[in-house]
Amino acid sequence: MAVVERIRTLDSIREKVVAGERLDLEDGLALMETDDLLGLGELADLARRVRGGNDEVYFIQNLYLNQTNVCRVKCKFCAFARTERQDGAYTFTPEQMVEDALEQHALSRFTEIHMVGGEHPGLTLDYYVDVVRSLKRALPDVHLKCFTASEIHHMTKLSGLSHEQVLVELKAAGLGSLPGGGAEIFADRVRRLVAPGKEHPDTWFHVHRTAHGLGIPTHCTMLYGHVETYEERIDHLLRLRDLQDETGGFLAFVPLAFHPENTVFERRGWKFTSGDDDLKMIAVSRLVLDNVEHVKAYWIMISTPLAQVALHFGANDIQGTVVEEKIAHAAGAVTPTEEKVEALVRVISEAGRVPVQRDTFYRELRRWPGRAEAVAS
């Protein structure tokens, strides 16, 4: 009887998906609680296609930069941050950032820089503006996706300016978009447990809403697999959906699997998320976030083999080459610190999809034939 009930639950949600009806909190909980993982994946892939998706899977050539790992916040899930006096603490100058970026660009010709870092209490807004301006002058054709909402908020405290004023200055210097980091889980209960020193989730929303109003697109994320409940996961997704209804400013959603290594959670016995939970989270995200076109299978955190499977669970983006990624690896990621274009093309093709290299705004730069097209030719 239990199996029959699970099938009926997915069937009723399937009817809503086909009819273009929105899923609610109860639907999301039913999806999170189902044991029918393959049925859930098939349903998420159906939702992707019903909403206009096809066999194209996107990736980007990008460079990851971290301007500093010095941070005033003691997030319990973070293995990256340092205090100024700790071994391994660093803060790069704008000149050093440019030198590194130019050296890497000569090797890979990336089209996007993804830059985030710690909330260094000793920096100024001028430092951040100078970093952005220097990178844009050195690489004018490269898109700069820089700074989490938490970092933007930190800049307001350093400068005494508003979120809007800070974003206006950064945009004038060359900022193109914001990543989605700092969201973690929006539930107050979870926030108090994992990031007690971080700003209220309303601040994250205010920064992103303000950015959207200024014509700065952003991304959205969720860090899952620590102390949150299924209900708190779905609530998080519904809040993102509401803001996307209001502004339309999110380019993509990125589910981030929690990595406990070198954090207090490892000492308390936490393990890495399981593959079925990763796939379930991607599928449910696709189903609930009906107004966010792109859902990423972030291979750096879940591995390329699982990312291939995720392409059949609602994901349509495999992120990018991710050169020099440090934050996930500080927390125990065992994936490479980058992937070559050829490797990502192979990963996507072997999953039966069509590889498309994109820019930040999902404009096509290059495409390869999918497996079926390759065989036919």
Q: What digits encode the pLDDT tens for the residues 55-91? A: 999 999 999 999 999 988 776 666 666 777 788 889 9
CA angle at 47 for the pair 303 and 211, rounded to the nearest 5°: 75
Share of the chain above pLDDT 70, in %: 86
Alpha-helical segments (H) within the chain: 2-19, 25-33, 37-50, 94-108, 125-138, 149-159, 163-173, 188-194, 201-213, 230-247, 264-267, 275-288, 299-302, 304-310, 327-330, 341-350, 371-376
Instruction: Provide the pLDDT for residue 337.
Output: 47
The CB density around residue 348, as the number of other CB atoms within 10 Å, is 26
Amino acid code (one letter) for 78: C
329: pLDDT strictly greater than 90: no
Q: Which residues are CB-neighbours of 140 under 8 A, at least 6 positions away?
A: none
Three-class secondary structure of residue 333 per DSSP: coil
The band of 335, judged by pLDDT with boundaries at 50, 70 and 90, is: very low
Q: Supply the DSSP symbol for 196.
A: T
- The amino acid occupying position 181 is G
Query: Tokens 């994320």 appear where?
Result: 221
pLDDT band at 331 (very low <50, low <70, confident <90, very high): very low
* Distance, CA of 2 to CA of 8 (rounded, Å): 10
At residue 23, the 3 state secondary structure works out as: coil
Taking the C-alpha atoms of residue 277 and residue 223, their distance in angstroms, rounded to an integer, is 13
| Helix, strand, coil distribution of the chain in percent, nearest 5 | 45, 15, 40
CA–CA gap between residue 72 and residue 89 (Å, rounded):
12
Closest residue by Cα to residue 330 from 130, 90, 92: 90
CA torsion, ordered 125, 131, 133, 137, to nearest 10 deg: 170
Q: What is the pLDDT of residue 263?
A: 61
Q: What is the mean pLDDT of residues 287-304?
A: 94
Per-residue pLDDT, averaged over 328-343, amounts to 56
Q: Coil, strand or helix: which one is 80? A: coil
Tell me how far CA of residue 333 lies from CA of 57, 74, 253, 299, in angstroms.
23, 20, 20, 10
Q: What is the reported pLDDT for 321?
A: 87
User: Whole-angstrom Cα distance, residue 107 to residue 105?
Assistant: 5
Contact predicate 203/160, CB 8 Å: no
Does residue 26 have a pLDDT over 70? yes
- Degrees, nearest 5: CA angle 338-309-370: 80
> What pLDDT, in 10s, does the model give residues 91-114?
999 999 999 999 999 988 999 999
3-class DSSP state of 68: strand
Tell me what the mean pLDDT of segment 155-184 comes to: 97
Q: Which pTM does this prediction carry?
A: 0.90
Backbone angles phi, psi at 172, to 5 degrees: -65, -30
